[in-house]
Amino acid sequence: MVEAVRQSFEKKFQRKPLLLASPGRINLIGEHTDYNEGFVLPGATDRCLVFAVAARADRRCRLYSLDFDQDFATDLDHLHRSEWRWPDYLQGVLDQFLKAGYNIGGVDIAFGGNVPIGGGMSSSAAVEAGLAFALNHLFDLKLDLLTLALLAQKAENEFVGLRCGIMDMYANLHGRPGQVLKIDCRHLVHEYYPFDRPELRIIISDTGVRRELASSEYNVRRHQCEQGVRILQKYYPGLKSLRDVSLEMLQEHRAEFDPVVWKRCAYVVRENNRVELACQDLLRHDFNSFGLRMQESHLGLRDEYEVSSPELNLLVEAASAVPGVLGSRMMGAGFGGCTISLVEAAAVEEFQARVSAAYRQETGLAPAIHVVRVEAGTRILEA
């Protein structure tokens, strides 16, 4: 892929580029908690987008996506929403750098890779964080990784219009090989936990169903969480987000909640607790307990937060029936996308065969199944 991106860039733009890798991410546990100032446990993966980028002397921007085989041209003074979606993630980053007052010029960009698009591994954050990292290097801005993550997040919030949290961009930029990050999404600090177990594999199973509802329903869920916080703030004035809420607090004031809003809030509080407990499991090397928490997370996403789908549920159920599977759950925004499973290495072939057969029998579709490693975050391949 590196050579394909390099050659496409040099053929189109007749110059030598800076080459970067920007990974997709997994999230072992802690779903829909980041925008509630909670905890998450993601890592960067070996599935990457490769960027070839070069600065220009003017303000023109020429963009090329290998995966879509589409060109898009604009300039820094006339950034505008595209009829395609992919240019907006890049334009949003350029827009944020300009709004923040950073001195950037035009760029030529070609990019492509093997992060599934819409498959729950956050290809969008790989685009945004990859370009933010590239701009920082090309224009010698000397910004730290947290600043880059925040700029990438604002690009998606404001230009693309999805009110996502910080997790995807943060994990993309701070990833380390063989380590996952427990991110505190309120204070924007993290701790690393080892996750380099030769006897275990992380498997991503892609439904092949793209998330038509994800953007709109994501914003609805966020609004419902904010509704719950406003109700509780009448009794706890110092409360800022669901991060500060206990199940006892929710139970005490349940009568004031719309039942659906209560369910959403209860899920977030429980999921935050699960992340804390899962980190203790990692320190004890208790992966059986860790896997059970993944299963509990899926049930909460399915029944309380209601962001799963029949296809996701089918993949989780099929995976959970395979001996050697420690845990499985949907991952990402939901309504399609993918599942993540923790599987004993000796069980991988049986997992692939049985999950594929069960999914094909029910849907007529073959799921894409990826065995992934926890790898480094966005990085320069060749300057």
- Active-site positions? 168
248: its two tokens: 């006892």
Tell me the C-alpha to C-alpha distance, in Å, between residue 332 and each of 107, 118, 218, 232, 346. Answer: 31, 9, 11, 28, 27
Taking Cα atoms as reference points, which of 109, 2, 59, 55 lies closest to residue 381? 2
Whole-angstrom distance, CA of residue 339 vs CA of residue 319: 9
CA Rg value for the chain: 21
Cα–Cα distance measured from residue 134 to residue 22, given in angstroms and rounded to the nearest whole number: 10
What is d(CA 54, CA 75) in angstroms, rounded to the nearest whole number?
15
Cα distance between residue 307 and residue 173, in whole Å: 27
* Contacting residues for 249 by C-beta, under 8 A, at least 6 apart: 232, 235, 236
Query: 241 vs 37, 218, 231, 268, CA distance in Å?
Result: 7, 17, 11, 10
Residue with token string 């993918």: 338
User: What whole-number distance in Å separates Cα of residue 122 and Cα of residue 337?
Assistant: 10
Q: Whose CA is closest to 71, among 136, 11, 27, 150?
A: 11
CA-to-CA distance for 72 and 109, rounded, in angstroms? 10
CA distance 199 to 342: 11
Using alpha carbons, list the distances in angstroms from residue 19 to 15, 130, 207.
Answer: 12, 10, 31
Q: Give the amino acid at 221.
A: R
Terminal alpha carbon distance of the chain: 17
